[in-house]
Amino acid sequence: MALVDTKKMFQMAYKNGYAVGAFNVNNMEITQGIISAIAEEKAPLILQISRGAREYASMSYLRAIIDVAVEENPDIPIAMHLDHGDNFETCKQCVDDGFTSVMIDGSHHSFEENIKVTKQVVEYAHAHNVVVEAELGQLGGIEEDVVGVDDVAAHLTDPNQAVEFIERTGVDSLAVAIGTSHGAYKFKTEPKLAFDVIEKIQKLMPGFPLVMHGSSSVLKEFKDLINKYGGKMPDAMGVPEEAITRAAKMAICKVNIDTDLRMALTAKIRQVFAEKPGEFDPRKYLGPAREAIKAMVKHKLHVLNCAGRAAECL
């Protein structure tokens, strides 16, 4: 089947208490690892492409890889999503390039300016049957070109503003700031997420899908492997998986995961190089890295409770 948008996915996720995993892709091995896990677990999938990924791999190569994944898995609904589009022109280009979902991130603007640019993207995207995600409130941390705030608790999404924002822009989903943070170095202590923000928006806008960014868990097994084999990742905590599961049973219908993919890939490559210092065949270190990504994604699908949900999202 062809690429799909996220409308049906989010309807079913909201109704049945799960979230769809949105995984960032940068090359063939990462994509293959994700797809292998998805195919075995029969889960719906959102493949995200950031500006950094487009600059690194070229959109034509990434699109070709995704097209193969779609063709080889006709029973899996797959959406192609722009992650953190920072202006109208970027979102327009991705709509024109065949994305089925785009994110306009105007969270760094004033409330009124965020509404203005989001509405502009919505009008263009909807005219081309593409859905739009926006963001209100600000996260912490750093992810590629996205630099968050230092005090995440002071920049949470205001539920009443969220209602006004959704109604004035016509956006299809909203990324909310509930205390999460981008990147690998998120928190020194376990974060306490603002579930009350989700609950209030859910009460005010029943049925409307929310999105959770900065949701990697910075898994200890990969951090330990990286440090064991020459890395220097300081102690840091990600979002507890039980918190992600709880949010997925509420109004959170999409959960973004990027850092955990990078850590799985890096940990296995470091391990191979340390144990086999003479290895120079990319297949011998990228292969194990791909398998590590597959195993990690399979695990995440159960954290999100979306394993086995592919058929209902078609």
Among all residues, which ones are annotated catalytic?
Answer: 83
Q: What is the CA radius of gyration of the chain?
A: 19
Query: Angle, nearest 10°, between helix axes 111-127 and 88-96?
Result: 20
Reference 15, options 277, 276, 251; nearest CA is 251
DSSP classification of residue 152: G
Reference 80, options 115, 120, 53; nearest CA is 53
Strand order in the sheet with 140-143: 146-147, 140-143, 181-182
d(CA 30, CA 35): 9
Residues 6+ apart with CB under 8 A from 33: 261, 289, 290, 291, 292, 293, 294, 297
Query: Angle, nearest 10°, between helix axes 195-204 and 159-169?
Result: 50
